[in-house]
Structure 1
Amino acid sequence: MTSSAYHTVLAELADGQGIERAAIEVESTPASVRDARFFVRQQLFGWRFPESGGFTDEVVLAVSELVTNAVLHGRTRPADDSEHVGIELALKPGRALGVLVSDNSNKAPVAAVRPAPHAACGRGLELVDAVADYWTAAPRENSQGVTGKGVWAVFRCPESAGLLPRSA
């Protein structure tokens, strides 16, 4: 798919009809990354994607990296003030899944320039790029007038999505 085709898919996921949505907000703390992973895994299972394996694990990895980046780089308030990170899933069954992670920072995400081989960080967007079919970032403004950004990762749905039987 071309970049313009992904922009079309992204527009569908953001505002289109027939989109299934699920969203949560988590505290902007390192411990909340686990909560984000749990939410995504449970929602994907609810939408009948496999509980683990290829597609699900790739989506969970991308969310983990994007939420970690939001926690580490997207805070705009002092550490002792409450701040949230938004996580939204948008599913166009049989077509695409979009993951939107939003924070209050206006700074665009920047991929690290070749982190050292033994560096413990700096590969988050590189990992997102490796597992997602497409990703992008855009400024946002919420209903309370808070500005920030949203980072989207888009995944083409596997053929078997929604067709898996539920175990009793």
Structure 2
Amino acid sequence: MQVLQVQLEIRPDPAEVGRARRWARSRLAGSGIQADEPLAETLILLVSELVTNAVVHTGCPAVLRLSLPGAAAGEAIVRLEVADRSVRAPVPRWADDDATGGRGLALVDGLADRWGWTTEGAGKRIWCELDCGAGSRGAAACGSGVVPYGGAAAAREGITYEAV
């Protein structure tokens, strides 16, 4: 299977969250994921949450990476990663109804099929995946069977790489 892997450098600035969303949306069409599909909206929400966490909670530059199946892919995995230079572990919080934050990792947990994090050198990488098969119809078809904190990495054969 052909996979398109793209990445974007993120500065530690809250304005980068919007830039990351626009960048991710622009990369979806080439993978066969249309901008108006529920899957695209789910991916953009996941990008928003993970980039926001990196910008707000670390104050460090980060790298956003998307691994998208090619347009002709049948069974596929969409993978999103955000790597930053902070060794602080991501900590899920339980926000009350009046809180203005604290729901990001709960959203990731509820929307992704798998998610987790690993230490990497002087920082960490937080990742999530959505399983999408032939005939999938957006997030409803791709967002089942949530398994928090874990899961195996997607196979990395046939990768096309683009760095921005």
Identical columns (%): 33
Number of residue pairs the alignment of both structures matches: 132
Amino acid in the other structure paired with 2:66? L
Q: Does 1:106 align with 2:83?
A: no
Q: Does 1:148 align with 2:132?
A: no
* SS of aligned partner of 2:55: helix
Deviation beyond 3 Å, 4+ runs, structure 1: none
Q: Which structure's CA Rg is the greater one?
A: 1
Amino acid in the other structure paired with 2:78? L
Q: Sort the Cα spacing of 1:140 and 1:104 in 2 relative to 1 into closer, same or farther, 3 A.
A: same
- Residue 56 (structure 2) aligned to one of 58, 69, 72: 72
- Verify the 8 A CA contact 1:23 1:87 in the aligned structure 2: yes
Give the TM-score taking structure 2 as reference length. Answer: 0.75
Residue in 2 that maps onto 1:87 = 64
Cα displacement string for residues 114-146 of structure 1 (whole angstroms, at most 9, x for unaligned residues): 2111110000000111111110000113xxxxx
Q: Does 1:119 align with 2:103?
A: no
> How far did residue 24 of structure 1 move?
0.9
Residue in 1 that maps onto 2:23 = 39
Residue in 2 that maps onto 1:10 = none
- Verify the 8 A CA contact 2:4 2:31 in the aligned structure 1: no
Amino acid in the other structure paired with 1:55? L
Q: Distance in 1 between matches of 2:17 and 2:135?
A: 28
* SS of aligned partner of 1:52: coil
* SS of aligned partner of 1:42: helix
Structure 1 residues not aligned, in runs of 5+: 1-16, 76-82, 142-146, 162-168
Give the TM-score taking structure 1 as reference length. Answer: 0.73
Amino acid in the other structure paired with 1:111? P
- Verify the 8 A CA contact 1:105 1:148 in the aligned structure 2: yes
Q: Distance in 2 between matches of 1:38 and 1:160?
A: 26
Amino acid in the other structure paired with 1:85? A
Q: Distance in 2 between matches of 1:33 and 1:20?
A: 22
* SS of aligned partner of 2:107: helix
Q: Distance in 1 between matches of 2:135 and 2:9?
A: 29
Over aligned residues, Cα RMSD in angstroms? 1.7
